Amino acid sequence: QVRLVESGGGSVQPGGSLTLSCAYSGTPYYMGWFRQAPGKEREGVATIKSDGGTDYTKYADSVKDRFTISIDNAKKILYLQMNSLKPEDTAMYYCVAGQALGAGFKFLGDKYWGQGTQVTVSS
């Protein structure tokens, strides 16, 4: 069983930065961040796999070069550093964990979700 608790959301002006955190329990193999804007489907933002001291990351094209996913396995915290935020980044952001990742951002098999943290980008 994996438990996930996100924090760090808030309101920021365009061009600003925020860092989301996700405290987790258990030993998930893959972790990631998804987001869901009002009236839209949940979409993958970034994923990470730690293997032998190397982190393998993947990003959605819309956030590449602006967002950075990282993980502190000792503290069991997943991060999402978000820079150069845009109004279209406004969404509820969810932390996810699982043991397998398919094509794109599809977590396979058992997967666990946090409760979400709201990010609002507005002037």
Sign of CA dihedral 99, 102, 106, 108: negative
Query: pLDDT tens digits, residue range 18-50?
Result: 999 999 999 888 999 999 999 999 999 999 998
Q: What is the distance of C-alpha 22 from the center of its chain?
A: 8
Query: pLDDT tens digits, residue range 51-104?
Result: 777 889 999 999 999 999 999 999 999 999 999 999 999 999 999 999 888 888
Cα gap 44→38, rounded to integer Å: 15
CB 16 within 8 A of CB 81: no
Report helix, strand or coil for 84: coil
CB 34 within 8 A of CB 45: yes
Confidence of residue 108 (pLDDT cuts 50, 70, 90): confident
